[in-house]
Amino acid sequence: MGVAPTEPAIDLPLSPGPSRGTWATAVRRLRRDRAAMATLVVLVVIVTSTLLAPVYASRVAQTDPFRSNLSGTVEIDGSRVPVIRPNPSGLGSTPIGPTFGRHFFLGADTQGRDVAARILYGGRASLIVGVAAALLTCLIATGIGLLAGFTGGTTDAVIFRALDIVWAFPIYLLAIALSTSLLVQGLKIGPVAVDPNSLLLPILIIAVVFVPYVARPVRGEVLAVRQREYVEAAIAQGARRRRLLFKEVLPNVLPSVIVIFPLIIATCILTESALSFLSIGVQPPQASWGTIVNDGQNQLYTRPLVSIAPGLLIAVTILALNVLGDGVRDALDPRAKIRRRKRRARDS
Amino acid sequence: MIGFILRRIVSMFVVLFALSVLVFLIFFATPGVDPARKMAGRNATPETLAAIRASFGLDRPLPVQYLRMMNRIVITRDVESYSNRGVRVIPEIMAAAPVTFALVAGAAIIWIVASIAIGLLAAALRGTLWDPLLMAIALIGLSIPVFWLGEVANLVTQQRWHDTPLFSWVPPLGYTPIGEDPVLWFKHLVVPWIVLSVLFVGFYARVLRSDLIESENEDFVRTARAKGLSERRVLVVHQLRASMITFVSLFGLDFAALVAGGALLVEVVFGLPGVGRLTYLSLSGLDLPVIMATVLYGAFFIVIASTVIDILYAFLDPRIRTA
């Protein structure tokens, strides 16, 4: 549609996708956004400290946070005390509380393991699962969205209906169905086998669950971009499909994927923590923030910090990602209306 | 109109069929996995495995297996749990549904009222410090994991401050049916209602505020102002009503998703015997028949609910009928 070229089309630039300038401007805008910068600092601190988990465990806490330590002792203020002390009543036992010192900074869990060290390791798992799942989701969804929007016709219709059906599934039910069905024996596709205890399983499950939420807007964007004059100009110049797809359409769809990326990470981390809390996410011996909140449930009233601390970290991370996401959106597209997460377009 | 309803219902059955196939594939046809093994849970004896193979017809071709599964879940409804022998799953789901519904309905009332109040206030106070402050609070609400918030609420109301007049009225975790003791029922649910609604208050307040601000430039707002209506009236009557369209359609879907099982985390934390908790209890033993049935019923509920919502919409807004 659009503008009939009054000049020979040959003089039109072939690839007017977002130039370097667009990205540089976005970064500059983001740098001026104080809230976004502050949360970026928070995120960097969280990521570095979880990466330093092994250092903390071996050098500072000097324990193995994955081995139960029921009969161990620890030296505090010059005296040796047991990590797990039997209750005076004779029933059960109480793990050591937070010392806020070198050993057992946040106390021990029921297995006598150092909670602070476990939280650092758990954070690493949570962040890995969240980021990897978000990357995978965006990758698959961009591929599907491009394929559907670019080919159109029957392919598009089939893909779109399929996404619609997965969309009708509540996220948690789909995730629960997938993880319970895969947890016993893992997944085996040809030569590729995924062990049920590996982090790969929650990553795959969470990534699959969120694909429709990203693929649908991407498809819409592809359809919109295809109508633009620069794409028509490229077609008029005889550009091949491959060139159209990778040089014209993809670069112009990418910003909208980047805009939602921090929010997708946040959602993935939140989903991982919820699944782990339900004991169907990250599996022991691995730990994540969600599994630690779950571990601490039984000692919530006696040793609340075991549950409270990792939950607080989840909340802070999600909040930081949400604020950063708002900042990235404003930076890339300041005039954009506030994009809403439209759960589901109304059926025809 | 009748044509629209018919079309909508046909498409509903197509989606229901596709969903059930999807659930079937997830549970019975995951590559490289023996479904009988999965069904039997973690520590299965060879006898259980044989019994499962026979009862689900696992030696038959996949389409036959699918029909058998659907027959047992939807028509004969005699699916039994493997960890609690003899317990039929479908009646259990039906018994748990009212609890979930009570939880979600109460939370929905809170989230509608609170999010409209916050969204309106933030939009009205745009340009002052209150607007970013309210939105920051909404964003925090949006970022808190609900199961953790529930635990904090339990810690405060059940233990730390339970002996103060503030929370001494909170009964121990659990549930009392409304028919037995309405007051106790209410007391049981107050804290779970609030906890469940926090996320949605944050989300809906943000959506509503941005909708209100967007409608600022609309013609009908200018007309309302030109008529000499007060700012307050323009905002509360004219802008709010227009913004309710997004709000209501989001609400229908969220409400259905929560009833279908999305409220599971809150039910687990507060020990409410709803559908979500039923699913949860079967998770640790990987009691797949129960999980399969709750998942399928949840998904079906959502599809049917969204069809009903669409038809109601078409009654309200004739433009949708032809779309």
Q: What is the pLDDT of residues A113-135, one digit of tens each?
A: 888 889 999 999 999 999 999 99
State which residues of chain A have pLDDT below 70.
1-21, 77-78, 90-91, 190-191, 333-348
A161 to chain B: which residues are within 8 Å by CB?
18
Look at chain B and count its residues: 323
Alpha-carbon distance values, B227 to B183, B221, B233 (Å): 49, 10, 11
What is the 3-class SS of A12-56, one letter each residue? CCCCCCCCHHHHHHHHHHHHHCHHHHHHHHHHHHHHHHHHCHHHH
pLDDT value for A6: 47
Asked if B291's CB is within 8 angstroms of A311's CB, the reply is no
Which of A297-311, A330-344, B122-136, B193-207 comes out lowest in average pLDDT? A330-344
Q: Is B143 on the interface with A (CB under 8 A)?
A: yes
Q: Residues A110, A116, A120, A126: is their CA dihedral positive or negative?
A: positive
Average pLDDT score over residue span B98-106: 94
Task: Name the 3-class secondary structure at A85.
Answer: strand
DSSP state of A60: I
pLDDT value for B38: 64
Give the domains, in start order, of chain A with CATH numbers.
Answer: 24-67+113-341 (1.10.3720.10)
Task: Name the 3-class secondary structure at B299.
Answer: helix
Average pLDDT score over residue span B302-306: 86
Asked if B143's CB is within 8 angstroms of A315's CB, the reply is yes
Higher pLDDT, B314 or A8: B314
Please name the residue that has the structure tokens 């509608």. Answer: B112
Q: Is B280 on the interface with A (CB under 8 A)?
A: yes
User: In this model, does residue B147 exceed pLDDT 90?
Assistant: yes
pLDDT value for A340: 37
Q: For residue A93, what are the β-bridge partners?
A: A86
pLDDT value for A144: 93
| Superfamily the domain B99-322 falls into | MetI-like (1.10.3720.10)
Asked if B42's CB is within 8 angstroms of A168's CB, the reply is no
Alpha-helical regions (H) of B71-166: 89-124, 130-143, 146-154
B139 to chain A: which residues are within 8 Å by CB?
319, 322-323
A277 to chain B: which residues are within 8 Å by CB?
145, 147, 265
- How far apart are the C-alpha atoms of B63 and B20, rounded to whole Å? 12
Let me know: does A273 contact A126? Beta carbons within 8 Å: yes
Would you place residue B40 in the very low, low, confident or very high pLDDT band (cuts 50, 70, 90)? low
As for the ipTM of the complex, it is 0.86
Give which of B148, B154, B163, B266 to mutate to test A binding, by max A Cβ within 10 Å. Answer: B148
User: In this model, does residue B54 exceed pLDDT 90?
Assistant: no
Determine the straight-line distance between the first and last CA of chain A, rounded to whole angstroms.
Answer: 25
pLDDT value for B296: 86
pLDDT value for B314: 78
| Percent residues over pLDDT 70 in chain B | 93
- Record the tokens describing residue A88, joined without a space: 């005076």
Give which of A42, A126, A172 to mutate to test B binding, by max B Cβ within 10 Å. Answer: A172
Give which of B131, B151, B280 to mutate to test A binding, by max A Cβ within 10 Å. Answer: B151
The residue type found at B10 is V
Interaxial angle between packed helices A171-183 and A250-277, expressed in degrees from 0 to 180 and rounded to the nearest 10: 70
pLDDT value for B148: 94
pLDDT value for A347: 29
Asked if A308's CB is within 8 angstroms of B151's CB, the reply is yes
Give the helix/strand (H/E) hosting A314.
helix A305-332
pLDDT value for B320: 66
pLDDT value for A4: 46
- pTM for the model stands at 0.86
Distance from CA of A223 to the nearest CA of B (A): 19
pLDDT value for A344: 31
- How far apart are the C-alpha atoms of A67 and A95, rounded to whole Å? 15
How many CB pairs (< 8 A) connect A and B? 170
Domain boundaries, chain B: 99-322
Nearest to A211 by CA among A144, A156, A262: A144
pLDDT value for A239: 83
B158 to chain A: which residues are within 8 Å by CB?
301
Q: Is B126 on the interface with A (CB under 8 A)?
A: no
- Record the tokens describing residue B49, joined without a space: 């495995």
pLDDT value for B33: 62
- Record the tokens describing residue B56, joined without a space: 């689900």
Let me know: does B48 contact B40? Beta carbons within 8 Å: yes
Average pLDDT score over residue span B155-184: 87
Asked if A300's CB is within 8 angstroms of B155's CB, the reply is yes
pLDDT tens sequence across B228-260: 888 888 888 888 888 887 788 788 888 988 988
Interaxial angle between packed helices A289-296 and B146-154, expressed in degrees from 0 to 180 and rounded to the nearest 10: 20
pLDDT value for A12: 46
Q: DSSP assignment of A219-238, as one string? A: HHHHHHHHTSHHHHHHHHTT
Task: Name the 3-class secondary structure at A86.
Answer: strand
Which of A276-280, B101-105, B302-306 comes out lowest in average pLDDT? B302-306
pLDDT value for A138: 95
Alpha-helical regions (H) of A91-237: 115-151, 153-168, 171-183, 200-226, 229-236
Nearest to B191 by CA among B156, B165, B223: B156
Q: Is B264 on the interface with A (CB under 8 A)?
A: yes
The residue type found at A282 is V
pLDDT value for B100: 93
Q: Identify which of B15, B148, B159 has the shortest CB distance to residue A301.
A: B159
Asked if B26's CB is within 8 angstroms of A181's CB, the reply is yes
Nearest to A29 by CA among A338, A336, A337, A328: A328
Asked if A273's CB is within 8 angstroms of B152's CB, the reply is no
